[in-house]
Structure 1
Amino acid sequence: MPTRDLIVVGASAGGVEALRAFVAGVPADLDAAIAVVLHLPAGGTSALAGILGRSGPLPTVTASDGMALRRGRVHVAPPDHHLLVVDGSARLSHGPTEHGHRPAVDALFRSAAASHGAGVIGVVLSGALDDGTAGMLAIAGRGGLTVVQDPDDALYDGMPTSVLRHLTVDHVVPSAKMGALLRDCVGLQVDTRHEPSGLVRRETAIAATNGGVHADGVTPLGRPSNFSCPDCDGNLIELDGTSKCFRCHVGHAWTAEALLVAQGATLERVLWTALRTLEEKAGLVRRMRGDASARGAELLVRRFPRTEEEAAHAADVLRHHLLSGTFTRPADVEEESAT
């Protein structure tokens, strides 16, 4: 019978510290492959493999497309590519972002669930928002083992707490103690009779695409939500059978929390643009009033002050709102120390 031989790990904000503690506690003779996604900026290169390789006993590599996932080795997702599991090998794709990220934790977890079923152990570490929850649900749905970092041990407890809110997990432990736990969990025989759901299969296929997804491939997955995608402004479909997850017609995926944060960021950008426009309008009116006064056009001179006053007042209101902290968002999930 198949055994538990694949560990997938997801982290975001605060994830470098959690991953270092995690790999430091993993035994050198671990009889399982490890695949890691840390949310990273799209540009540049990542030093995460080197950081983790120096932190624990297992050799650590940056995954490449088609690389075999070897037991006793840590495979790290590179920036701007989803890391997926297909038939025991790593698959890299430039598929649609999920929650604004590529690589994305959920994409890795879903693909592992679809490919390895109950042979997967899912691990969620420190991070903001609710990334990883949908992927852990997919793993649990196929009988896989679910492990979450103790929220009190995480620098950012959003991701672990979200999983605990939606799923009864198998183990909740500090990251430094996971290695000893996993040593006793890998190698056990598992039942692979649970088939992945159609939604998990389809979302895994979407993540594997290297380009846009036709609307016909997303629309059957749910119902229109009346929300717009922050990435492309397309209509979002609310997916059936998930905990408030959405996809647009080209495949961008969002959880409700991630969508809310992205909408706030979009609104903030729009308001800063409006503030600049109002300030420029007030400045232009002042110049036009000066020109009119120099020409002796007193009628225009009397009209301009009201327009200038209205623009300046609106700008003051917007500036006060923007500087009030209303748009304070959760911690940025891009880990600069891993790049």
Structure 2
Amino acid sequence: MPGHDIIVIGTSAGGLKALGAIVGALPADIDAVLFIVQHLAADKPSLLPKILADVSALPASHPADGESIQKGRIYVAPPDYHLLVNQGAMRVVRGPQENRFRPAIDALFRSAARAYGSRVVGVVLTGYLDDGTVGLQAVKKRGGVAIVQDPNEAEYPSMVKSALRYVKVDHCLPLAEIPDRLVQLSQLVAEEEPAVTEEIEVESKIAEQEMNTQEFLKNVEAIGTRTTYTCPECNGSIWQIGTEEPLRFRCHIGHSFTANVFLSEQTQNIENALWSAVRAMEEKVTFSRQMSERMKTYNLQNAATKYEDHAKSLDDEVTLIRGIILDGFATKRTIAEAEEEPSE
């Protein structure tokens, strides 16, 4: 019987150092395969496989879509592509972003849980926000093992704190202890796994983008409840997925958000709209004053005064909107600080 030999690792800010510490301590003969997602800039090439290969006894690479899985290797998600795991092979696809990320940790973890069940070990390391939490929940639902980096040593602890808050984590370890635990788990026989839930099945298919519109709507209706919200990415309809924490949403295209990210996106869209209003109103102020000066050249003083008064009124409104925007920045900071508070 196989052990826990499918290891999925997710990280973001501060992840390079953390990944190096883990893969650099793994033996060349480990009876497992590693899949890694680190949040990367979409428009720049990634040197992560080369960097990891230089410090590890295991070869590392960006896989091709459909490439077969080989043990004793490290597969790294390429920039702007989701890395997904199927039975015996990988998918590398430009599916919809999840929590604003592509590649997304949740997408990788969920696909691995779907394909390999209790053989999966999910590892969440340093990073901002909460990508990885929902994916780690999927790993646990399929009987897999959940590991998180000790938040006290994580350079950016948000991701690991979120996982600890919402997932029944099996091991919370400092980086130095994670490699040995992965080796031990790879040698332990994986227990019988629970069946794939409808939620995991549907969301895995969404990530692969292999459903037509009718199939998608049918499936997402089966796992979610339609809301009155619209997607901050594409303005499409939004469904609330399940009732578990963290609260999360998907749109009809497939964009996915946890509540914190959804609120942040809504706030950003409002801010963008307000700045657009400021721009349009400032243009009108300038034009009104131009018209006022033009009326003066024709000795139309009443008209000139009306244009000038209109410009002053708009100026006051612009000042008010600017104040709303600046207050919004303070509100966003307050929310972010609240989310950083440790759970009790």
Give the alignment's TM-score, normalised by structure 1.
0.92
Task: State the shift of 1:282 in Å.
Answer: 1.2
The 3-state SS of whatever aligns with 1:168 is coil
Q: Structure with the greater relative contact order (CA < 8 A, sep ≥ 6): 1 or 2? A: 1
- Give me the whole-angstrom Cα distance separating, in 1, the residues matched to 2:192 and 2:273: 50
Task: State the shift of 1:191 in Å.
Answer: 2.0
Task: State the shift of 1:211 in Å.
Answer: 7.9
Kindly report the root-mean-square deviation, in angstroms, between the aligned alpha carbons of the 2 structures.
2.0
The 3-state SS of whatever aligns with 1:152 is coil
Counterpart AA for 1:186? S
Unaligned runs of 5+ in 1: 332-339
Query: Which residue is 1:238 aligned to?
Result: 240
Query: Which residue is 1:269 aligned to?
Result: 272
Task: State the shift of 1:235 in Å.
Answer: 1.5
Deviations 1:215-262 (A, max 9, x none): 233222211222211111112100125421211112111111111111
Deviates more, 1:62-71 or 1:138-147: 62-71
Query: Which residue is 1:170 aligned to?
Result: 170
Query: What is the 5 A alignment of 1:17-36?
Result: 17-36=17-36
Counterpart AA for 1:222? G
Query: Which residue is 2:342 aligned to?
Result: none
Task: State the shift of 1:129 in Å.
Answer: 1.4
| Contact 2:60 2:73 (C-alpha < 8 Å) held by counterparts | yes
Counterpart AA for 1:236? I
| Contact 2:205 2:211 (C-alpha < 8 Å) held by counterparts | no
Deviations 1:109-144 (A, max 9, x none): 011001110000000011111111111111111111
Give the alignment's TM-score, normalised by structure 2.
0.90
Query: What is the 5 A alignment of 1:216-255?
Result: 216-243=218-245, 244-255=247-258
Query: Which residue is 2:48 aligned to?
Result: 48
Query: Which residue is 2:301 aligned to?
Result: 298
Query: Which residue is 1:256 aligned to?
Result: 259
Counterpart AA for 2:55? S
Residues matched between the structures, number: 331
| Contact 2:46 2:79 (C-alpha < 8 Å) held by counterparts | yes
Unaligned runs of 5+ in 2: 338-344
Query: Which residue is 2:158 aligned to?
Result: 158
- Give me the whole-angstrom Cα distance separating, in 2, the residues matched to 1:83 and 1:293: 66
Deviations 1:189-224 (A, max 9, x none): 112341110110111011111687542332222112
Where has structure 1 moved over 6 Å in runs of 4 or more?
none
Counterpart AA for 2:293? G
| Contact 2:143 2:193 (C-alpha < 8 Å) held by counterparts | no
Query: Which residue is 2:7 aligned to?
Result: 7
Counterpart AA for 2:200? V
Query: Which residue is 1:336 aligned to?
Result: none
Task: State the shift of 1:24 in Å.
Answer: 2.2
- Give me the whole-angstrom Cα distance separating, in 2, the residues matched to 1:20 and 1:138: 26
| Contact 1:52 1:60 (C-alpha < 8 Å) held by counterparts | yes
- Give the 3 Å change call, closer, same or farther, for CA 94–178 of structure 1 in structure 2: same
Query: What is the 5 A alignment of 1:116-155?
Result: 116-155=116-155
User: Aligned to 1:314, which of 306, 317, 320?
Assistant: 317
The 3-state SS of whatever aligns with 2:152 is helix
Deviations 1:281-312 (A, max 9, x none): 21111111111111111121121222111221
| Contact 1:25 1:178 (C-alpha < 8 Å) held by counterparts | no
Query: What is the 5 A alignment of 1:202-213?
Result: 202-209=202-209, 213=213
